[in-house]
Chain A
Amino acid sequence: DIQMTQSPSSLSASVGDRVTITCRSSQSISRYLHWYQHKAGKAPKLLIYAASSLQSGIPSRFSGGGSGTDFTLTISSLQPEDFATYYCQQSYSAPQTFGQGTKVEI
């Protein structure tokens, strides 16, 4: 299985901060990397697909980058509704695997 490693596991930030989360895969996955936002008790939400493509309806303050083994999710100006856990996921090979998550807290 391809292992996905996110860092940091958690971070504290304030409204208006620029936040960057990194995700590294154990082997090259091209751009088969997606980012999700998850709030407790709710369905996870797709933010970014194919490493850098913004999902329809997602605010432009979210952006993604990278290819191969190293990827980033950036929130340019953190908003109150952005406090959540973020996961990366690879769909390059089965089984699809997720990172362990990054909790963004105040």
Chain B
Amino acid sequence: QVQLQESGPGLVKPSETLSLTCSVSGGSISDFYWAWIRQPAGKGLECIGRVSTTGSTNYNPSLTSRVTMSINTSKNLFSLNLRSVTAADTAVYYCARESDSDWHALEYWGQGALVTVSS
């Protein structure tokens, strides 16, 4: 059974960079698209973007100027960097794996990591 686990600082100062890692176990990271999604308190889910093991990325246009995603196949993990954060970036951040079909549903999810942006 594929399992995903987010890790990273729970508190980030305004204007700094939010960095999260998603560790994948129970399966290979290869040949899939891997995604980051976030949910601010009391709000809905927002796709941040996705990265493939070929290095291809797609970012939400609203965040593309501040986002970088990368993947490390040797360590079976992928990462999110979000620069110049503000309080509006406070949210629970989820990592997920898309299915291997053409439908691109988010088949496996991590439990989520709360990141608070505050000085």
Which residues on A are within 8 Å of B, measured CB to CB?
1, 31-32, 34, 36, 38, 41-46, 49-50, 55, 87, 89, 91, 94-101
Contact = CB atoms under 8 A, between A and B. Distances in A.
Residues of A contacting B: mostly: loop
Contacts of B76: none
Which 4 interchain pairs have the tightest Cβ spacing? A49-B105, A43-B109, A91-B104, A95-B60
B44 interface: yes
B87 interface: no
Interface of B: 4, 35, 44-47, 49-50, 58-62, 94, 96, 99, 101, 103-107, 109-112
Given A49-B103, A95-B58, A100 B44 contact: yes
Contacts, number: 67
A63 B117 CA distance: 39
A38 B45 CA distance: 10
A49 B44 CA distance: 19
5 contacts: A44-B94, A49-B101, A95-B58, A96-B104, A101-B44
Contact of A43 (B61, B103, B104, B111): B111
B45 A44 contact: yes
Contacts of B103: 31-32, 34, 49-50, 91
A41 B110 CA distance: 11
Contacts of B59: 95
Contacts of B110: 43
Nearest to A98: B45
B94 A34 contact: no
